[in-house]
Structure 1
Amino acid sequence: MRKQEETVEENEDNENKEIDNTSNYSQLDRPDRQFYIPSQIIDEFGEKGRDHLNQAIGGRLLLALTAGSFMTFGAIFSVLLAEGVETMGVYHLLSGLGFAAGYAMVFISGALLFTEINVLLPSYLFNKANLMKVNIYKFWASAYIGNILGAFMVAVLIQMSGSLSPEFYTEFSSYLDKKMKFMDHGVTGWFEVLVSGILANWLIGMAAFLTTAARDITGKILGTTLPVILFVAGNFQHSAANMGYFSLGVLASDKYTWYEYILFNLIPASIGNLIGGGILVSLLFSYAYKEEIQTSLGQNNNKK
């Protein structure tokens, strides 16, 4: 009887060892995920939105200026890369790649871009009640103004440097014409820009989505690049991107005035950008994954 009990114990020990080995093999065969799932991304959006909102005004303004400056660099690079290219597919690809450099610098550096905030801040608001306070609107306004000032500052420096060739400005003029073509359509054109702005920030919201999903620098750059190429190729109106083009346009060309840039493009594009980022990305995914989102955003009510 005792021998039978010992035999049973030995068999159980062997089975446990086999289970442990199987578990080890399973762990070896299943490496850690190299990306965040959608609910984690939305949660991360909310966290970033809260961090930006809590930032000191000085740091916030500097980051907004930096983001705007990157937009002008992206605008310049988009023209330089596609200059002289006649095949439209390659032209759009290179132009989009050029502007993606500006967005990659924004996303990875943590700079404060108005159109990215249109995704991050609503994600925070949708996951926390009773937060519609005046300082939120001031925050949005400071980001927008900071982006414009940063874009114009770099445009001034580029003009002062005398670095760009006459061929560049000839090509650049065609970019301005594409951005301002809606002006000829009157009221209809104004609403066309608004709808185009919705599409643009929907794509930029997805660029932020993919960039946040990636957990390494290569994935973040690739995640930024694909949606940016699409919005540039489609000539969708993105207010932050257009700040880069228009800042240089005011200095380098008298074809359009500054108030035409603002009234017939930036204003309707910005409204569309708010809708595209806040509703079609932030609200949509927040609602779709509301049961899965595990967030600590509601724990600091008394701090806001």
Structure 2
Amino acid sequence: MDKKIHISDKDDDTDNLGNEESNDSKNHTTENLEDEEFSEDISDEDKASIREVAGDDNLSAPKSYASILVEQVIDAKTTFNRSLGSLFTSAFTAGLEIGFSLFVILAAFALLSEVLPSNYAMVLASLLYPLGFIIVVIGQSLLFTEQTSLLSLPVLNGIEPLRKLLRLWGIVIAGNIVGGCLFAALMIGLGINMHLFTVANIDAYAQHVLDFEWWVIFGSAVLAGWMMGVAAWLVTSARDTLSRIVLVSLITGSIGFLGLHHSIVGNIEVFSALMYGNTVSLMSYLWFLIIVLVGNTIGGVVFVAVLKNRTFLFDIAKVKEQAEEDEKDKIARMDARQR
């Protein structure tokens, strides 16, 4: 068996589906995998193996491991089939939406700083970190770190070429960054003029993420990417919107509380200080962005997609091995009866 998930490349018109319809289809993706869901070069035996490990028709029970992974592969293929304009617009929207986290955090930080030491104020304000992520995930906009592991799955399984993944990542990153920078330019300036926070607050928060050696930022970004990959996995495992909100809040709230480096939120944090503050240069902003993007990517792909994908392939191999043993036993029993 070619140890890959073979899902067909049939056209998907998902760009025109509403959010509710998309969520409903996600919840039932793997209940009945039809023949057209598989590529033409996969054998009937391998189709049966995948159906067995990915079967998930009991809505009262947790989703199976394989069901989650197959669902993610199918969803990622849908993303690959979207138009470039649709991808960029969705990513641009996510860049804008994720900015709400920083806007509220800065306002809370400015307020808490008046009554608490700066370190405590920053940690407590960071608990508001999940706000933008909830808007992005529930609204189904394309956020790079959430999609990193998800979009790499078709490539890991030989369904899509690497060059197509790199192009897709480039579009999503560009949309996220442009949207985030626009939010910083407009909304952070608005917050200053509304006296919700000050330039000093913006500088303090930027230094909160910049004031480390490059290798520390890189390691922190790897961990943040790992956690975002886990968040994407857990969101797929959930069967209802409330559960997804809770899971996103727990994971991203932990990232904010620990001060880990997230490339898209970090872009807005540092770019805001570049525009309105006094402590960030263009070179430090660009260097920071490159390090965190690479770290997030490694964390999401290596520690989530690769490992979970390998686990699934081991499950497929085990099912096939068991099926072969059962077939041998059946033949042996038939031979014994004939004698």
Rg comparison, structure with higher value: 1
Q: In the alignment, is the contact (CA less than 8 A) between 1:69 and 1:244 conserved in 2?
A: no
SS at match of 2:313: coil
Letter in 2 for 1:104: I
Q: In the alignment, is the contact (CA less than 8 A) between 1:69 and 1:147 conserved in 2?
A: yes
2:103 pairs with 1:71: no
Note the C-alpha offset of 1:190. 1.8
Letter in 2 for 1:238: H
State the aligned residue count.
255
Letter in 2 for 1:171: N
2:112 pairs with 1:46: no
Letter in 1 for 2:190: S
2:137 pairs with 1:114: no
Query: Which residue does the alignment assign to 1:135?
Result: 164
Query: Which residue does the alignment assign to 1:101?
Result: 131
Query: Which residue does the alignment assign to 1:280?
Result: 303
Letter in 1 for 2:290: I
- How far, CA to CA, are the matches of 1:271 and 1:78 in structure 2? 25
Note the C-alpha offset of 1:56. 0.4
Note the C-alpha offset of 1:33. 2.4
Matched-pair identity in %: 23
2:178 pairs with 1:149: yes
Query: Which residue does the alignment assign to 1:24?
Result: none
- How far, CA to CA, are the matches of 1:237 and 1:158 in structure 2? 22
- How far, CA to CA, are the matches of 2:312 and 2:107 in structure 1? 41
Aligned counterpart in structure 2 of residue 58 of structure 1, from 85, 102, 114: 85
- How far, CA to CA, are the matches of 1:123 and 1:269 in structure 2? 21
The 1:164/1:119 distance shift into structure 2, 3 A limit, reads farther
- How far, CA to CA, are the matches of 2:77 and 2:291 in structure 1? 27
Give the TM-score taking structure 1 as reference length. Answer: 0.76
SS at match of 2:133: helix
Note the C-alpha offset of 1:268. 1.1
Query: Which residue does the alignment assign to 1:81?
Result: 108
- How far, CA to CA, are the matches of 1:36 and 1:75 in structure 2? 34
Query: Which residue does the alignment assign to 1:248?
Result: 272
Q: In the alignment, is the contact (CA less than 8 A) between 2:230 and 2:304 conserved in 1?
A: yes
The 1:39/1:243 distance shift into structure 2, 3 A limit, reads same
Higher relative contact order (CA 8 A, sep 6+): 1
Where do 5+ consecutive residues of structure 2 fail to align? 1-57, 317-339
Note the C-alpha offset of 1:48. 2.1
SS at match of 1:290: helix
Aligned counterpart in structure 2 of residue 215 of structure 1, from 235, 239, 245: 239
- How far, CA to CA, are the matches of 2:120 and 2:275 in structure 1? 30
Which protein has the bigger helix share? 1
Query: Which residue does the alignment assign to 2:53?
Result: none
Deviations 1:139-196 (A, max 9, x none): 11111111110001112221453554264443332211111102xxxxxx22221111
- How far, CA to CA, are the matches of 2:66 and 2:121 in structure 1? 36
- How far, CA to CA, are the matches of 1:102 and 1:174 in structure 2? 21
Matches within 5 A, 1:18-29: none
Query: Which residue does the alignment assign to 2:319?
Result: none
Where do 5+ consecutive residues of structure 1 fail to align? 1-30, 183-188, 294-304
- How far, CA to CA, are the matches of 1:111 and 1:166 in structure 2? 28
- How far, CA to CA, are the matches of 1:41 and 1:132 in structure 2? 22
Give the TM-score taking structure 2 as reference length. Answer: 0.69
Note the C-alpha offset of 1:244. 2.0
